[in-house]
């Protein structure tokens, strides 16, 4: 008998967010794009009382719409 074991965290749905800034090296994204990313990806930062998540392009699963 054989099979694949999938950890519970693989069942988690990705997070969704709106792009508010993009590095000039990134050509595939633009401000106001909505993206999907892993729940625990990136680093959280706070600026002027607003929380943001800084992601590497590799952390983004896809662009919505």
In a domain, 8, yes or no: no
* Residue 14 CB contacts under 8 Å (≥ 6 apart), including other chains: 36, 37, 38, 39, 61
- Which pLDDT score, from 0 to 100, does residue 59 have? 92
Domain that holds residue 43: 16-64
- Could you tell me the pTM of the whole model? 0.74
Considering its fold, how many domains does the chain have in total? 1
- Residue whose tokens read 């519970």: 8
pLDDT tens column, 15-65: 999 999 999 999 999 999 999 998 889 999 999 999 999 999 999 999 997
- Which pLDDT score, from 0 to 100, does residue 5 have? 65
Phi, psi of 59 (to 5 degrees): -80, -10
Cβ atoms of residues 38 and 14 within 8 Å: yes
């Amino acid at each position: 008998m054989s099979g694949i074991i999938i950890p519970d965290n693989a069942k988690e749905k990705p997070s969704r967010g709106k792009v508010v800034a993009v590095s000039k090296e990134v050509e595939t994204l633009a401000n106001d794009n909505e993206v999907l990313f892993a729940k625990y990806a990136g680093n959280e930062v706070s600026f002027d009382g607003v929380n943001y998540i800084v992601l590497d392009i590799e952390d983004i699963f896809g662009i919505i719409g």
